[in-house]
């Protein structure tokens, strides 16, 4: 699971209103190499929840020096965009779980795949 | 005479007419791709699913980069209005006489060039790479893979295509074919093996395709002194007859080229060429978030991640086998790319296990939804589709960005789909439909635009949500067959 994916995932257990962001517990993380496209990153940033991204990066131990607040004029800041690129696309959680912040329900992550299926009584 | 010397300027390159088979319904898409990548204008044949274009023999490597094309061939001769004689005897005799009169030289030259390209590719790959078969991947990936692999169908022979790094994959049978091609292609006096494949359509012919193939093939054999071999052939001669249009060609690709990205098949794996066509329809933009909520083996998102890398792909399915196969297919492509060593190998694609009627995604977070929806006959059942389609469409509308969002949905169950869609006017607007043929079944690819209204404000949304249990069991039964 890449952190860009995590930024879009939310808990949808019945009755939950604040199911975002899911809390990450990672037991195995890997870093891959993905081609850097500055346009992709700068256009993706407005679609993200920045604080959730920072929190996720910290939870998987890859915060490094990613700023907690978005830098102004980030579109032209290549160094910054590269950091964001790494965190969005290159850091992957292979094993672990996602926890709903409201209900505590855990969704397992195995082989990089988060299993978000609900049981009958939760749906 | 058939020299391959490419250092001799002027003499060695010439113009040829190429033919290509494409998924029916996507001929225009393929023609566009030809225009973009080769700068050539393609003609769409009356015989659906075929396009023709002219190019320089030098452009052969480029041709293999086409993503919308299933099979490629060089045209030897085209008759727009062939005059068939009345009797079967005379007609077949005419075909026999034809063999020695056709302009074979240049097309066979292209065939040879193509073999050289294939061999170069294969040699380069063979030197770097050991060839694991799909089941051995299981050893590395963990115990869960064992179960998934026993279900995996064996890979069909897939030849390499020069020019496109990402496309290689396991090719056990291909090794044999290449072996036999080597004796002939090297220009040594080895005897070439060939076969004739005849496709005939039309109700006024006095002969069958078998008869035409047999008699024409016999004459070809006489003329070239080749050996006929139905299975291990070097040259495949094509005789395509569609009413009065007759095209003779030499094949450049072997059959079943469609599944180029997929090494782990599922029961209904979509052709990569069809996936490409569907993706082209929705024109992925930079930073678009594109999901396939019923991804099966991941054919569509994977094709997208390879061809439109500037977007982000989320492949999802509720079924264990499907998500495992998807992850295996992605891992396979990643490995190939790593082995090439041509820069960053990772692709912008991720996999999630989810129920499509209860997507675990934030509202309005997705730009494009693209998927192959369960067919009544191939998978699932028509009754289930009645319940599934409205829930799907509603949930897809929720996650899709109002105003700018799009959906590209392939379905055979047109009646059910149309009915479900008719109740969604406040959420989805039909933009365009392409009619396609999937293994004999007629299906539609619907391009929908997400209406600009926010979810929760239209009458459709305020309806009670359908029993998610009903939708979930429908989803689980998807892989039953």
Instruction: Give the containing element (helix H, strand E) for B96.
Output: helix B88-99
Would you say residue B238 has pLDDT above 60? yes
Confidence of residue B463 (pLDDT cuts 50, 70, 90): low
Confidence of residue B381 (pLDDT cuts 50, 70, 90): low
- Best A35, A91, A106 residue to mutate vs chain B (most B CBs within 10 Å): A35
Q: Which residue has the higher pLDDT, B326 or B458?
A: B326
Q: Which residues of B touch A44 (CB under 8 A)?
A: 287, 312
DSSP string across B226-289:
PEE-SSS-SEEEEEEEETTEEEEEEESS-S--TTTT-SS--TTPPPHHHHHHHHHHH-PPTT-E
Confidence of residue A97 (pLDDT cuts 50, 70, 90): very high
Would you give the DSSP letter of residue B465? P
Would you say residue B170 has pLDDT above 70? no
Q: What is the pLDDT of residues B329-350, one digit of tens each?
A: 999 999 999 998 888 999 999 9
Confidence of residue B268 (pLDDT cuts 50, 70, 90): low
Distance from CA of B462 to the nearest CA of A (A): 17
Give the integer Cα–Cα distance in Å for B327 and B152: 13
Going B29 to B34 to B39 to B45, the CA torsion angle's sign is: negative
- Please, are residues B390 and B474 in contact by the beta-carbon 8 Å criterion? no
The predicted model scores a pTM of 0.77
- How many C-alpha atoms does B474 have within 13 Å on its Cβ side? 26
The ipTM value here is: 0.97
Give the integer Cα–Cα distance in Å for B299 and B276: 9
> What pLDDT, on a 0 to 100 scale, did the predictor assign at position A120?
82
- Chain A contacts to B (CB-CB under 8 A): 1-2, 4-5, 8-12, 20, 32-37, 39-40, 43-44, 47, 89-90, 107, 110-118, 120, 123
Give the integer Cα–Cα distance in Å for B363 and B335: 34
Q: Which residue has the higher pLDDT, B409 or B119?
A: B409
Structural tokens at position A81: 């965009």
- Please, are residues B316 and B354 in contact by the beta-carbon 8 Å criterion? yes
Structural tokens at position B116: 């050289």
Q: Do B344 and A115 touch (CB under 8 A)?
A: no
Q: Is the peptide bond before B384 cis (omega within 30 degrees of 0)?
A: no
Distance of CA B406 to the CA centre of its chain: 23
Write the residue in A20, A47, A112 that is nearest to B351 by C-beta. A112
- Please, are residues B51 and B60 in contact by the beta-carbon 8 Å criterion? no
Q: What is the pLDDT of residues B79-102, one digit of tens each?
A: 989 999 989 999 999 999 999 999
Confidence of residue B440 (pLDDT cuts 50, 70, 90): confident
Give the integer Cα–Cα distance in Å for B309 and B311: 5
Going B284 to B289 to B295 to B299, the CA torsion angle's sign is: positive
Q: Do B323 and A114 touch (CB under 8 A)?
A: no
Most confident residue range from B196-205, B288-297, B459-468: B288-297
The arithmetic mean of pLDDT across residues A11-18, rounded, is 88
> What pLDDT, on a 0 to 100 scale, did the predictor assign at position B255?
56
Would you say residue B110 has pLDDT above 90? yes
> What pLDDT, on a 0 to 100 scale, did the predictor assign at position B265?
59
- The angle subtended at Cα B415 by Cα B413 and Cα B419, nearest 5°, is 120
> What pLDDT, on a 0 to 100 scale, did the predictor assign at position B282?
92
> What pLDDT, on a 0 to 100 scale, did the predictor assign at position B118?
78
Q: Do B350 and A112 touch (CB under 8 A)?
A: yes
> What pLDDT, on a 0 to 100 scale, did the predictor assign at position B437?
80
Distance from CA of B366 to the nearest CA of A (A): 9
> What pLDDT, on a 0 to 100 scale, did the predictor assign at position A123?
74
| CA quadruple A94, A95, A101, A105: dihedral, nearest 10 | 130
- Please, are residues B300 and B314 in contact by the beta-carbon 8 Å criterion? no
Q: Do A32 and B346 touch (CB under 8 A)?
A: yes
Q: Which residue is associated with the tokens 């749906």?
A: A123
Mean pLDDT score of chain A: 95
Q: What is the pLDDT of residues B383-426, one digit of tens each?
A: 666 778 888 899 999 999 999 999 999 998 888 889 899 988 89
What radius of gyration, in Å, describes the C-alpha atoms of chain A? 15
| Percentage of the residues of chain A whose pLDDT score is greater than 90 | 87
Q: Which residues of B touch A3 (CB under 8 A)?
A: none
Q: Which residue has the higher pLDDT, B186 or A57?
A: A57
Q: Do A8 and B314 touch (CB under 8 A)?
A: yes
Q: Do A36 and B344 touch (CB under 8 A)?
A: yes
DSSP string across B211-232:
HHHHHHHHHHHHHHTPEE-SSS
Q: Which residue has the higher pLDDT, B363 or B137?
A: B363
Would you say residue B462 has pLDDT above 90? no
The arithmetic mean of pLDDT across residues A55-68, rounded, is 94
Write the residue in B141, B361, B472 that is nearest to A8 by C-beta. B361
Would you say residue A81 has pLDDT above 60? yes
The arithmetic mean of pLDDT across residues B211-216, rounded, is 94
Q: What is the pLDDT of residues B44-80, one digit of tens each?
A: 887 678 999 999 988 888 888 899 988 899 999 999 8
> What pLDDT, on a 0 to 100 scale, did the predictor assign at position B228?
92
Lowest-pLDDT choice from A64-73, B103-112, B187-196: B187-196
Would you say residue A102 has pLDDT above 90? yes
């Amino acid at each position: 699971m890449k952190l860009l994916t995590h930024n879009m995932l939310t808990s949808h257990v019945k009755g939950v209103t604040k199911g975002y962001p899911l809390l990450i517990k990672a037991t195995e993380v890997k870093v891959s190499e993905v081609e850097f496209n500055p346009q992709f990153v700068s256009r993706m940033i407005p679609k993200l929840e920045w604080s959730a991204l920072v929190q996720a990066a910290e939870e998987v131990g890859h915060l490094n020096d990613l700023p907690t607040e978005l830098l102004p004029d980030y579109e032209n800041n290549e160094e910054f965009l590269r950091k964001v690129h790494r965190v969005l696309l290159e850091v992957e959680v292979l094993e672990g779980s996602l926890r709903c912040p409201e209900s505590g329900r855990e969704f397992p992550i195995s082989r990089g795949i988060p299993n978000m299926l609900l049981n009958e009584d939760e749906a | 005479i058939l020299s391959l010397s490419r250092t001799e300027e002027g003499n060695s390159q010439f113009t040829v007419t190429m033919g290509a088979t494409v998924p029916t319904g996507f001929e225009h898409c393929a023609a566009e791709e030809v225009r973009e990548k080769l700068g050539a204008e393609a003609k769409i044949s009356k015989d659906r699913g075929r396009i023709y274009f002219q190019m320089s023999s030098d452009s052969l490597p480029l041709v293999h980069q086409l993503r919308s094309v299933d099979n490629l061939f060089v045209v030897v001769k085209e008759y727009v209005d062939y005059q068939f004689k009345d009797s079967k005897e005379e007609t077949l005799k005419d075909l026999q006489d034809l063999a020695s009169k056709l302009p074979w030289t240049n097309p066979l030259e292209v065939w040879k060039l193509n073999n050289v390209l294939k061999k170069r590719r294969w040699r380069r790959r063979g030197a770097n790479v050991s060839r694991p078969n799909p089941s051995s991947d299981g050893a590395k990936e963990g115990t869960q893979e064992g179960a998934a692999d026993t279900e995996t169908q064996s890979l069909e022979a897939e030849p390499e295509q020069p020019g496109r790094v990402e496309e290689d994959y396991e090719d056990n049978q291909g090794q044999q074919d290449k072996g036999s091609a080597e004796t002939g292609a090297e220009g040594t006096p080895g005897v070439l093996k060939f076969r004739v494949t005849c496709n005939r359509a039309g109700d006024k012919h006095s002969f069958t395709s078998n008869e035409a193939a047999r008699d024409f093939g016999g004459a070809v054999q006489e003329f070239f002194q080749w050996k006929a071999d139905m299975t291990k052939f070097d040259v495949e001669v094509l005789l395509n007859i569609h009413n009065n249009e007759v095209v003779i060609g030499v094949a450049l690709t072997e059959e079943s080229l469609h599944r180029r990205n997929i090494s782990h098949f599922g029961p209904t794996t979509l052709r990569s060429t069809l996936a490409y066509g569907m993706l082209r329809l929705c024109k992925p933009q930079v930073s678009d978030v594109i999901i396939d909520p019923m991804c099966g083996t991941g054919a569509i998102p994977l094709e997208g991640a390879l061809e439109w890398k500037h977007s982000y792909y989320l492949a999802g399915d509720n079924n264990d086998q499907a998500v495992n196969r998807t992850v295996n297919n992605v891992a396979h492509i990643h490995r190939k790319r790593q082995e090439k060593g041509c820069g960053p190998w990772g692709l912008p694609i991720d996999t999630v296990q989810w129920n499509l009627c209860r997507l675990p995604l934030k509202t309005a977070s997705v730009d494009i939804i693209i998927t192959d929806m369960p067919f009544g006959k191939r998978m699932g059942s028509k009754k289930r589709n009645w319940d599934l389609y409205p829930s799907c469409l509603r949930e897809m509308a929720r996650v899709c960005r109002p105003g700018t969002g799009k959906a590209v949905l392939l379905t055979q169950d047109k009646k059910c789909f149309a009915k479900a869609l008719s109740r969604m006017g406040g959420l989805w607007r039909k933009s365009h439909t392409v009619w396609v043929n999937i293994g004999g079944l007629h299906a539609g690819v619907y391009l929908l635009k997400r209406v600009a209204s926010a979810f929760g404000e239209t009458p459709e949304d305020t309806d009670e949500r359908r029993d998610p249990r009903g939708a979930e069991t429908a989803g689980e039964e998807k892989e039953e067959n």
